[in-house]
Structure 1
Amino acid sequence: MNAIVNKLDRASMKEWFEHMHRSPELSMQEEKTAQYIAGIVRDLGYEVEEGVGKHGIVASLKAGNGNGAIGLRADFDALPIEEINTLPYKSGVTGVAHLCGHDGHTTMLLGAAKYLAETRNFNGTVRLIFQPGEETMQGGPAMIEDGLFERFPVDAVFGMHNMPGLELGKLYFTPGDVMAAVDNWEVEITGKGGHGAMPELSIDPVVAGSSLVMALQTIVARNVSPANRAVVTVGAFLAGNAGNVIAHSAILRLSIRTTTPEDRAMVLNNVRRLISSQAESFGCTFKIREGVPGAVLVNDAAETEKVAEIARHTFGDDEVIYPGPTYLGSEDFAFMLQKKKGAYCFLGNGDTKMVHHPEFIFNQGILPIGAAYWVALTEGYLR
């Protein structure tokens, strides 16, 4: 076992993780979680700035006389999903749970924070970036807009995510395009509500919305080259409350993922076109509410090779996979990588349910590995 792993405070990491898991908060509503994190790093001796991009935290620690600085980023928001398991530290909030592992990501960075504060075996400044609102793609842009990199300069920035289906405890690095751009849209279709027994007096937005759901599935199949990757998902369809009432309006929430600028422009234009034509054909009106514009997550090739080599030196060649996989999943860390060079890696969570599944369980066994990676990266980068 790696020497750093053996010296980590596992008991504290377990306590931090289980506390956050029991007390999840939704994106950009993480006030209590932010206070909890800030209290820990402040007690460890870091210079702490709260309220960066609403609930974001930057904790800085300098050692030696070096001028170099790196940023290590972890997210801490939860999802609007009811957790289904029997864990003793199960979510205590109805309909909200850490089912993507952001509580684990923050715990790993806190574990590294404690080790680095105690050993200070680096020369320069490490900045721990605790980010809210990743699930809604709001937190990263909010922190950047609030002057993240101007107020807290770094030479490079790094991120990490657990990943079910990848071998437990192994680290995966891929240069170049790693994750897709995502555009989260909400579409409101308005018809004319009425009695379910008299449809001729109504205009049914559920029928129009249902037709739209099916039509949207033709965009990727018939317009995106099979050599590229994209997906249009309707993750929510909200309308009505009773079987004998024709709803007045319907809400569809879309997740649109693309991997090239050209495909993104084409897919979004086709989504707009189909929303308009489908609504009009059923006699409905519509509104489109567009979310934060998407961005492909692009790892800097040189930085990816550098951190992969640090990981090999720390854990051994067999524990590092290079190049690793790419995903149509999305990350607002992409916006940070547009501003600073850096790399984003995956840490295998083993054979578990996928993230965002109600039965997903973050494997606590990887907490020390993730923390040790952050320590090794800091010590290796800031020699």
Structure 2
Amino acid sequence: MTDLDSRLRAWRHDLHRRPEPAFAEHATSAYLAEALEAAGLDVVTGVGGTGVVASLTRGGTGRAVGLRADMDCLPIDEPGTHAHVSRNPGFMHACGHDGHMAMLLGAAAVLAAEGGFDGTVRFVFQPAEEPGRGARAMLDDGLLARFPVQAMYGLHNWPGAPAGHFLTRAGSIMAGEDNFEIRIRGRGGHAARPHMVVDPIVVGAEIVLALQTVVARNVDPAQPAVVSCTDISTDGARNAIPGEVVIRGDTRSFDPAVAALLEERVRRLCEGISAAHGATCAVTYTHEFAPTVNDPACV
């Protein structure tokens, strides 16, 4: 094993032991800053809250490129007794961000030691990728004004892909994600007296099925889109019809016009079906992740 191999493994294992959730990556930020400064880079911390940006310049062309990795973990308990198991109960690097950070530290170490370029490389460690807020926080903190680049590159591990291969393409590659919450209010009551209630479970069941028609009957077949209901909860009991049902889920799309259509159809179906049953509903619809669209020249 080469020295770089051992350093990469050590970085990854250290980071895996200390997972931290979105915007709480304080120990992670300090660890990264120490490793980057040891490699001779100029390091700025606290960008967008807990983000880290390190810069390495060779030559004087003024050109600059960014390389990006994410930092946060998931709220998942990690089983096992292996040496680098998570030491923060309830949190785990289950999405591979420990690997992403180790790869970017490795790139920084190689470029600092070997050079071979003329310009500036920015190593951008972004917090809060999981909730979709970290990139915006860094941009709002002046990332591109303070650390200008002509292009930004990032990647994500992909279990199942052949080792030694990069998978990419020009144009759209990762869909945008929007989230919704549908809160249906009926009138609860005893299960033996259904004629005296407005059953929100019936309304919710009809809504779940109706939402499956949005992609099938409203979206252009040439446009990719997904609508998924992923969670249903009620305030009912075994022998009591609830007064409220909450349905949560998300949608995926590439085109802003399709994203707008999905929201419009979700709202209209929920309101119409609820009204038809004598119930009311409130739809909360949030735009979380913009789609990833790769520049052809960069690809």
Same fold (TM > 0.5) = yes
Q: 1:291 aligns with which of 263, 286, 291?
A: 286
| Residue 362 of structure 1: aligned partner | none
Q: 1:71: how far off?
A: 0.5
Alpha-carbon offset, residue 151 of structure 1 = 0.9
Shift of 1:25: 2.6
The aligned counterpart of 1:48 is 43
Quote the RMSD (CA, aligned, Å): 2.8
Q: Does 1:130 align with 2:130?
A: no
Show the counterpart of 1:277: 272
1:90/1:120 CA distance change after superposition, 3 Å: same
Look up the match of 2:174: 179
Aligned mates of 2:23, 2:8 — CA distance in 1:
24
- The alpha carbon displacement at 1:77 in A equals 1.8
Structure 1 Cα separation of the partners of residues 64 and 52 of structure 2 = 17
From 73, 77, 80, the counterpart of 1:78:
73
Q: What's the CA shift for 1:293? A: 5.2
1:16 partnered with 2:11: yes
Residues 64 and 148 in structure 2, CA contact (< 8 A), matched pair in contact too: yes
Pick the structure with more helix per residue: 1
Change (3 A) 1:275 1:92: farther
**Residues 27 and 212 from structure 1, CA distance in 2 versus in 1: closer, same or farther, beyond 3 angstroms?**
farther
Greater C-alpha radius of gyration: 2
Instruction: Give the structure 1 partner of residue 93 of structure 2.
Output: 98
The secondary structure found in structure 1 opposite 2:8 is: helix
Call closer, same or farther: CA 1:240–1:165 in 2, change over 3 Å. farther
Task: Decide whether aligned partners of structure 1 residues 58 and 245 sit closer, same or farther in structure 2, where only a CA change above 3 A counts.
Answer: farther
Larger deviation, residues 31-40 vs 142-151: 31-40
Runs (5+) with no aligned partner, structure 1: 1-5, 305-383
Deviation per residue, 1:135-174 (Å, 9 max, x gap): 2221112211221101111111101111123212211221
Which residue of 53, 63, 67 maps to 2:62? Answer: 67
Distance in structure 1 (CA, Å) of the matches to 2:239 and 2:256 = 45
Residue segments in structure 2 that go unaligned for 5+ positions in a row: none
Number of the residue aligned with 1:162 = 157
More moved, 6-15 vs 241-250: 241-250
**SS of residue matched to 2:228:** strand
Higher RCO (CA < 8 A, seq sep 6+): 1
TM-score normalised to structure 1 length = 0.69
Q: Is the 8 A contact 1:8 1:115 kept in 2?
A: no
Provide the secondary structure at the position in 2 that maps to 1:269: helix
Determine if the alignment matches structure 1 residue 30 to structure 2 residue 25: yes
- In the alignment, the residues of structure 1 paired with residue 197 and residue 33 of structure 2 have an alpha-carbon distance, to the nearest angstrom, of 54
